[in-house]
Amino acid sequence: MERMTYTESEPVEELRRKVQELEGRLAAVEGRGREREERRGEAIVAARNLSKIYGEGRTRVVALSEVNLSIRKGEFVAVQGASGSGKTTLLNMLGALDRPTRGRVVIDGIETTKVPERKLFRIRREKVGFIFQTYYLVPTLTALQNVLLPTMPLRANRDLRDSAEQLLELVGLRERMDHKPGELSGGEQQRVAIARALVLNPAIILADEPTGNLDSKTGAEIMDLMHRLNKEQKRTFIIVTHDAKIASGTERVFYLTDGRLYSGGGE
């Protein structure tokens, strides 16, 4: 038991050594934290501790709870969740259509949750392409005019028109350019909406149940088209769906349950 007894100075020496060792470990942990932070910097869109609460008192709903998400340029990601799990709420936060109760969102280096409302429309237009379950095309406009819609605040020019036409060709609608939505099938209308989402070269494309109104064959075709645009044009897609079959075809799947996001395998 000789080792258990020490002189006055030994405990102090021992403590000093321990403190140094702990400081070393802390520095290593902090270093790794910084590395992680830097890797996050590469993310085209990231959400940190994102929460959204609707209403208050008896109508209070926690639609999103402490969601963390980081998506790199060129990824194709699906978020799968049941009806009411918070999918639309998540996309609305990521696309700066609505503000979170807590947490932050960074798109292409811009912390949108800090941007004042009057400047947000421009960031939405330039950084985010939206695709919806019910297409949201303007019925009185042709396919080409619908694709050009997001460019309207800009000066109309030949280049924009050319790229809109090329996009319609890319989605297989060269022959339908002058048709109005009422003269197109559901699948064709969603193709127009996809071309519209791409026209300003957004950093990310968010799709809310993009196949929800389509039969399974047409839905699969729309998924194939989005996958092709992801591969060939390095477009970044985040789709949300309740459909496990639709989600399973993508590189990375997250699961949303009661507003909590779970990674489907290694972030």
The contact set with ligand ADP (CB under 6 A) reads 54-55, 61, 63, 81, 83-89
Residue of 65, 85, 88, 145 that binds Mg ion (CB under 5 A): 88
Given the complex with ligand ADP, which of 206 and 229 has the nearer CB atom? 206
Task: Look at residue 54 and give the partner it binds from ligand ADP, Mg ion, none, a contact being a CB closer than 5 to 8 Å depending on partner kind.
Answer: ligand ADP
Which tokens in the block code for residue 68?
């963390």
In the complex, least distance from residue 59 CB atom to ligand ADP, rounded to whole angstroms:
7
Contact partners, residue 134, CB within 8 Å, separation at least 6: 213
In the complex, least distance from residue 173 CB atom to Mg ion, rounded to whole angstroms:
26
**92 touches Mg ion (CB under 5 A):** no
Residue owning tokens 């060709």: 169
In the complex, least distance from residue 257 CB atom to ligand ADP, rounded to whole angstroms:
10
Which residue type is seen at 79?
V
Q: Residue 106 is inside which H or E element, if any? A: strand 102-107
Per DSSP bridges, beta strands 252-257 and 260-263 are antiparallel
**241 touches Mg ion (CB under 5 A):** no
- Cα 87 from Cα 89, distance rounded (Å): 5
- Cα 11 from Cα 3, distance rounded (Å): 12
Which residue type is seen at 179?
H
Given the complex with ligand ADP, which of 190 and 241 has the nearer CB atom? 241
Task: Look at residue 230 and give the partner it binds from Mg ion, ligand ADP, none, a contact being a CB closer than 5 to 8 Å depending on partner kind.
Answer: none
Contact footprint for Mg ion (CB under 5 A): 87-88
